[in-house]
Amino acid sequence: MKMWSGRFRQPLDPEFEAWQRSFGFDRRLLNYELQASAAHAKALKNAGILSASELIAILQGLEKIGNDASSDERHAVAQDAAAEDIHHFVEKQLAECIGDVAYKLHSGRSRNEQIATDLRLFIRAAIDHLQSNLAELCFAFVYGAEQAGAAAMPAYTHLQPAEPVLVGHWLLAYVEMFLRDADRLADCRKRLNLCPLGSGAVAGATLPLDRIFMAEELAFTAPTANSIDATSDRDFAVEFVNALSLLALHLSRWAEEMIIFSSLEFGFLQLPESYSTGSSAMPQKKNPDLLELVRGKCGRVIGNATALIITMKGLPLAYNKDLQETQQPLFDAADTVMAMLPLIAGFMKAVEFDYARMQDAASAGFMNAWAAATCLVKKNIPSRQAHELIGKAVKLCIEKNCELGDLPLDELRELSPAFDQDFYECLKPQSVLAIHDVPGGTAPARVRQGIASAKKKIEALREELHAHA
Ligand code: ARG
């Protein structure tokens, strides 16, 4: 049975009919549609619209549809050519299963509130899944930081060697980004966790349905506050996909760094063979495909965020069919990021860093220059002057093709009598690392603190997930 044919004199143009359907993509919402329908059915019973036996028939029918779909891959969920959307599909299946009483289920509700509810439930579940993947990913990076121990590497600004840092410090930078991503998703989850059921098509349900009851049934914190907003709002999807864009952007920056560091010229790491491919033409090649695809997919996620927000722009309140177009970018963004996270965690566990080579790179290229200037500052030389003196010393080194530590003391003293034997101590890699002895700095003890605090944050994230499960 069609959902709306009563007032029509002509059938739909078949091409249009096929083109406007959303069942091809919204069928993945089946479980949420079933849960929301069960909550609505119970509210109908409480409102005296369904008898106890009708409610039981409907609930059993809904359960059967869910079981059939999960037990049989070739079930109608994948095949039903006549279903307009997931809401129509469930109604049809229910009627097939329990007869005409199925048509009572739609009493007092609209597909506009249904799709808004299903999408909130979908995103809520997706967030929980992503959070658990993010915890694993953070853990893989923290593990890498622990493994790296005392190994140092260059930190870059403008992609020019700037100062040495511990490899652990560099890896923890990504953990911070991912933890912010997790926090943004948690925040998005808080705001979306309200129940649109009972909002009707736009002006509210036509029956006295208990909205608080339905919200509780679906583990929402409360009903949404305004029926017009609830049926037209997709902020939660926009927020979610934008949070994913930022996460994908972090992954893309990481991928870019790893690609650079894996090049022969840097040689900071060996690409794991299990995550690389060869060239069909050049026998010697091992290509960073995982990293390049991560970088590439970031563009796709950002594209989805853009598609979503542009679809919303200019829509009058409340429901418009344009809103159907928000689903595919949402699903694609969620799928794309969900598939990447475990792969990246696996890649991180498999990648081999060449600590010796990183350490060598950190020991050359005047990366101790700022520490050297600081050494003079501690001897009461004004910092601008200290900067100038070390700049001159670097110029000398460039002429002689050596490092600061290779300059003899008498040559340094020609620049300033402030130079002393202990200056050479300041130039050693351990001393340079140790001077950043503030919270968030790269001194080894600070990095150890960073590791410990990251572990605590990951644990807190896991506990929060546990509470939602
Ligand atoms: N398939 C529709 C969507 O995704 C469901 C809501 C339809 N509502 C309507 N008034 N035609 O937006």
Radius of gyration of the chain (CA): 30
How far is C-alpha 337 from the chain's CA centre?
6
Which residues lie below 8 Å from residue 413, measured CB to CB, with a gap of 6+?
419
- Confidence (pLDDT) at 12: 87
- Asked whether 95 and 102 are in contact (CB, 8 A), the reply is yes
Element (H or E) spanning 109, and its range?
Answer: none
- Averaged pLDDT score across all residues of the chain: 94
Nearest CA to ligand 1 atom 4: 324
Rounded CA separation 196/14 (Å): 33
Could you list the active site residues? 158, 279
* Atom number of ligand 1 nearest to Cα 85: 1
- Asked whether 114 and 36 are in contact (CB, 8 A), the reply is yes
Nearest CA to ligand 1 atom 10: 112
- Confidence (pLDDT) at 299: 98
| 469 residues of the chain, pLDDT tens digit each | 677 677 777 888 999 999 999 999 999 999 999 999 999 999 999 999 999 999 999 999 999 999 998 876 555 555 676 899 999 999 999 999 999 999 999 999 999 999 999 999 999 999 999 999 999 999 999 999 999 999 999 999 999 999 999 999 999 999 999 999 999 999 999 999 999 999 999 999 999 999 999 999 999 999 999 999 999 999 999 999 999 999 999 999 999 999 999 999 999 999 999 998 887 878 787 899 999 999 999 999 999 999 999 999 999 999 999 999 999 999 999 999 999 999 999 999 999 999 999 999 999 999 999 999 999 999 999 999 999 999 999 999 999 999 999 999 999 999 999 999 999 999 998 899 999 999 999 999 999 999 999 999 999 999 999 998 8
For the chain, give percent helix, strand, coil, nearest 5: 70, 5, 25
Measured torsion, CA atoms of residues 354, 359, 360, 365, in degrees rounded to the nearest 10? 130
- Confidence (pLDDT) at 138: 98
- Report CA(80)–ligand 1 centroid distance (Å): 18
C-alpha distances out from residue 166 to 36, 133, 242, 327, 443, Å: 51, 26, 32, 44, 8
Nearest CA to ligand 1 atom 2: 324
- Asked whether 135 and 119 are in contact (CB, 8 A), the reply is no
What confidence tens digit (pLDDT) does each residue in 184-197 have?
999 999 999 999 99
- Report CA(103)–ligand 1 centroid distance (Å): 18
One-character DSSP codes across 299-335: HHHHHHHHHHHHHHTTPPSS--GGGGGGHHHHHHHHH
- Report CA(51)–ligand 1 centroid distance (Å): 28
Rounded CA separation 322/142 (Å): 44
> What is the maximum alpha-carbon separation in the chain?
102
> Which 3 state secondary structure label does DSSP give 155?
strand
Pocket test for ligand 1, best of 111, 199, 233, 311 (most atoms within 8 A of CB): 111
What confidence tens digit (pLDDT) does each residue in 325-380 have?
999 999 999 999 999 999 999 999 999 999 999 999 999 999 999 999 999 999 99
What confidence tens digit (pLDDT) does each residue in 40-54 have?
999 999 999 999 999
Residues with CB under 6 Å of ligand 1 are 22, 26, 85, 111-112, 115, 319, 321, 323-324, 327
- Asked whether 185 and 243 are in contact (CB, 8 A), the reply is yes
* Atom number of ligand 1 nearest to Cα 323: 12
- Confidence (pLDDT) at 149: 96
> Which 3 state secondary structure label does DSSP give 196?
coil
- Confidence (pLDDT) at 76: 54
pTM for the whole structure:
0.94
Rounded CA separation 421/88 (Å): 84
> Which 3 state secondary structure label does DSSP give 405?
helix
- Confidence (pLDDT) at 282: 80
Q: Within the chain, how many helices (H) and strands (E) appear?
A: 20, 6
Nearest CA to ligand 1 atom 11: 321
